[in-house]
Structure 1
């Protein structure tokens, strides 16, 4: 992978930072910057000047969050983020969206994001879709990966679905050679999971037959995270080498 990449990430909630790929990118001497939308001053929350210029970013990584992409009334910066995303994607630049991030890319390109039939939280199996073209990003036949979502994206126009499971059909997509959207969380680390568990215990907004108990998630061993973390590193290499 190229060294000295200018990597920018979008963060939507405090505590859900860059995730597992920070060390991987730093090992390639990447320059990492961030936009923390939750911390933008009100007078900048709708101004494109609050974000970097498209030409200043070699790779964009969009993190998750607790809000819906449709909740622009309560989070007005969502409009700003989608406007900037359309410019960035139109320039043909590499991007990876993680959970809310994957939903944001899809929605910015005109796809619907809506409530999934079931909430999905915990270590869940995700499988590769059959007949993915050879020149597209390849995931393992089966992953056991962290899920934490209530909504789901449609596949954007021109996108190809790469992964699925029985709870949520659209788990991952690819657009062209340089954009990957995930519904799950390959970036999850033990520390990041602990922060999410603490917030969930405070609010208790998830329930249903595909929601694992917090007591069980607290026992997640370190090796559980490795497959997703390695997948994300491969995804980064794939989009920046497109």
Structure 2
């Protein structure tokens, strides 16, 4: 059995629709809570996949949240290993930082459901399975595209929504994993941020309800295509 490690920052921002796909492919899924767990006590070398999940802090906030230094070290080690790595929101920003790219405030919040605009390279990537399906956006920071990485998608508000590095690293600013059926956990967990940003909760809830079947289906297609790609790699071909 293979092992997938998920670095988590908030309990309700979990693997979502990705988790049952991993289980079906015989991955043993292990969550580590990045703020509190000892990341050095885990044998990362024995794992096959690392997923770094989202959270409401910044990728350069290690002066406020020192645990980010250990998390960044794990990401750097993983990148050096050539093994498959998926970053979502904060996770994608940490990958960008580890690869030397900028991560900064957009001075605006992008919160809600909207489709991605794919680049030409994105059209040839697993993201093509999304079509025009809206995905969940929930962030106020954005990343630059690292040197040697491939920009895959953007939105009108945020030009860089996804990039890949080699064939084994995928970074997503959007929350493709988020199950719209679980939107109430997000509305409660991020209540203060939503008020501060002036977001209409009823409209957000209505968007989620309209996508509760369509979005998980599209997300499964994307993740299935990516997992097919990474599982076809031999170790020496990973990068």
Calculate the TM-score normalised by the size of structure 1: 0.86
RMSD between aligned alpha carbons? 2.1
In the alignment, which residue of structure 2 is the partner of 1:201?
Answer: 191
Gaps of 5+ in 1: none
- The 1:10/1:128 distance shift into structure 2, 3 A limit, reads same
Gaps of 5+ in 2: 234-239
User: How many positions carry a matched residue from both structures?
Assistant: 228
Give 3-state SS (helix, strand or coil) of 1:25's partner.
helix
Q: 2:221 maps to what in 1?
A: 230
Matched residues in 1 for 2:106 and 2:227: separation? 27
State the partner residue of 2:25.
Answer: 28
The whole-number CA distance in structure 1 between the counterparts of 2:154 and 2:20 is 28
Q: Which has the higher helix share?
A: 2
Report the CA distance between 1:218 and its aligned residue: 1.8
Q: In the alignment, which of 56, 79, 98 is matched to residue 89 of structure 1?
A: 79
Q: Do 2:121 and 2:151's aligned partners in 1 also have CA atoms closer than 8 Å? A: no
Matching of residue 217 in structure 1 with residue 207 in structure 2: no
Quick one: structure 1 residues 239 and 206, their matched pair in 2 at CA, closer, same or farther if it must change by over 3 Å? Answer: farther
Residues 1:11 and 2:8 aligned together: yes
Equivalent-residue separation in structure 2 for 1:173 and 1:82 (angstroms) = 18
Q: Identify if the C-alpha distance between structure 1 residues 143 and 9 changes in structure 2 by more than 3 Å, giving closer, same or farther.
A: same
8 Å CA contact 1:95–1:239 kept in 2: the answer is: no
Q: Which whole-Å CA distance do the structure 1 matches of 2:135 and 2:22 have between them?
A: 21
Residues 64-93 of structure 1, C-alpha deviations (whole Å, 9 max, x = no match): 001111110221111101111111111111
In the superposition, the TM-score normalised over structure 2's length comes to 0.87
